[in-house]
């Protein structure tokens, strides 16, 4: 597998996972401004690759690989992918090919919409009883050999709320999500608001008022689960930690819904999913428990006074939220065991 954009956090995480994968090998690694430097200068946690030199990102450098992962900034992947042959499995870890609605892309990202690729959130249940994995190349023989890796927030929020929408227990309006993310979610670029002295000991909101780019992706996923449009108020916050997401998601329940019905819906939906864990009653997700793992931890309860379901999700934004999802979907596309090379256990303490 070639990795374009290997000097960033997402590219580095993908390389870490590939080193432990028995059937995927690291091929060419590329970058833009960092071309000519070694991986050890950017990812000293990967000593096995320390002396590998980053090459310029070009179709010529990426040619000859069975799989190419694009860990590039939003808006840069389509031009590269267009010059790779249809036989190459291309896995885009940016947002370029996630949205089905060109108007939503133009509103939240700007520029021309690059088109939609098969969306790589295998566990997402649909209103018709299917799962998103059945639309991925490998299981769907006519699906193009292209994969759009989900965003980190949409992974947590979509899997948190989908069971209740599929089962008709949640109303598709007045869905409210407040989520906290570690600073690695903003990428590796230097910015004043991400300096340690600005972040340590402080939390702050951003993208307030429906402006975060992941909002239309969350609504797109939840509409697939509900079988109709779903409106979401999404407020992200920046937490003083390097990685991890904790999303608190609430929605009005259909009158008469009980706590037992909620728990049964979530437990049965994910009972056979190796990477989605509904925790025992009374135990709530923590970001620390998902670090380094390709796992989502969930808990659901009923706030009977407010008539709302409360679902909390924890995920590592760099693993299950990005690079782990890329490996998981690649496994499916190559007809390998879906869990191959992916850990379900986090790091502790």
Which region holds residue 281: left if phi is over 0, alpha if psi is between -120 and 50, else beta?
beta
Per residue in 80-119, pLDDT (tens digit) is: 998 998 889 999 999 999 999 999 999 999 989 999 999 9
For 309, phi and psi rounded to 5 degrees? -85, 140
Report the run of H or E that residue 62 belongs to, with start and end.
helix 59-62
Which residue among the candidates 3, 49, 72, 152 is catalytic per the annotation?
152
Domain boundaries, the chain: 2-150+319-333, 153-315
When the candidates are 3.40.50.20, 3.30.360.10, 1.10.150.80, 3.40.50.1100, the CATH number that belongs to 153-315 is: 3.30.360.10
Choose among 170, 162, 192, 174: nearest CA to 273. 162
Query: Residues with Cβ < 8 Å from 33, sequence gap 6 or more?
Result: none
Burial class (CB in 10 A: 0-12, 13-18, 19+), 71: buried
Per residue in 286-319, pLDDT (tens digit) is: 999 999 999 999 999 999 999 999 999 999 999 9
> Is residue 152 among the annotated active site residues?
yes
Taking all residues of the chain, what is their mean pLDDT, rounded to a whole number?
Answer: 95
Per residue in 17-62, pLDDT (tens digit) is: 999 999 999 999 999 999 999 999 999 999 999 999 999 999 899 9
CA dist 182 and 242 (Å) reads 5
Choose among 93, 100, 96: nearest CA to 75. 96
Res. 264 pLDDT band, cuts 50 70 90? very high
CA dist 330 and 340 (Å) reads 10
- Give the fold, CATH level 3, of 2-150+319-333: Rossmann fold (3.40.50)
**pTM of the entire predicted model:** 0.95
The predicted structure's pLDDT at residue 188: 66
């Amino acid at each position: 597998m070639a990795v374009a954009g290997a000097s960033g956090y997402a590219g580095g995480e993908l390389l870490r996972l590939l080193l432990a994968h028995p059937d995927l090998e690291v091929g060419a690694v590329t970058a833009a401004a960092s071309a000519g430097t070694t991986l050890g200068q950017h990812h000293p946690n990967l000593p096995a690759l320390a002396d590998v030199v980053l090459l310029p990102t070009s179709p010529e450098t990426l040619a000859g690989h069975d799989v190419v992962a694009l860990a590039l900034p939003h808006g840069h992947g389509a031009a590269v992918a267009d010059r790779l042959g249809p036989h190459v499995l291309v896995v885009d870890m940016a947002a370029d090919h996630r949205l089905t609605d060109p108007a939503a892309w133009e509103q939240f990202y700007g520029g021309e919409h690059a088109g939609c690729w098969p969306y790589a959130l295998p566990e997402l249940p649909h209103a018709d009883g299917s799962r998103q994995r059945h639309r991925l190349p490998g299981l769907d023989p006519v699906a193009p050999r292209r994969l759009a890796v989900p965003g980190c927030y949409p992974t947590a929020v979509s899997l948190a709320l989908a069971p209740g929408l599929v089962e008709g227990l949640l109303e598709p309006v007045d869905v409210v999500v407040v989520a906290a993310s570690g600073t690695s979610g903003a990428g590796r670029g230097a910015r004043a608001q991400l300096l340690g002295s600005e972040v340590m000991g402080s939390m702050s909101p951003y993208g307030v008022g429906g402006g975060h780019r992941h909002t239309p992706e969350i609504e797109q996923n939840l509409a697939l689960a509900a079988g109709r449009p779903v409106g979401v108020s999404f407020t992200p916050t920046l937490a003083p930690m390097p990685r991890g997401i904790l999303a608190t998601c609430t929605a009005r329940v259909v009158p008469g819904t009980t706590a037992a019905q909620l728990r049964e819906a979530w437990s049965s939906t994910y009972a056979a999913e190796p990477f989605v864990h509904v925790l025992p009653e009374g135990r709530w997700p923590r970001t620390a428990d998902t670090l380094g793992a390709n796992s989502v931890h969930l808990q659901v309860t009923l706030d009977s006074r407010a008539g709302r379901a409360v679902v909390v999700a924890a995920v590592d934004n760099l693993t299950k939220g990005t690079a782990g999802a890329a490996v998981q979907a690649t496994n499916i596309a190559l007809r390998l065991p879906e869990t191959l090379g992916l850990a379900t256990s986090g790091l502790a303490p």
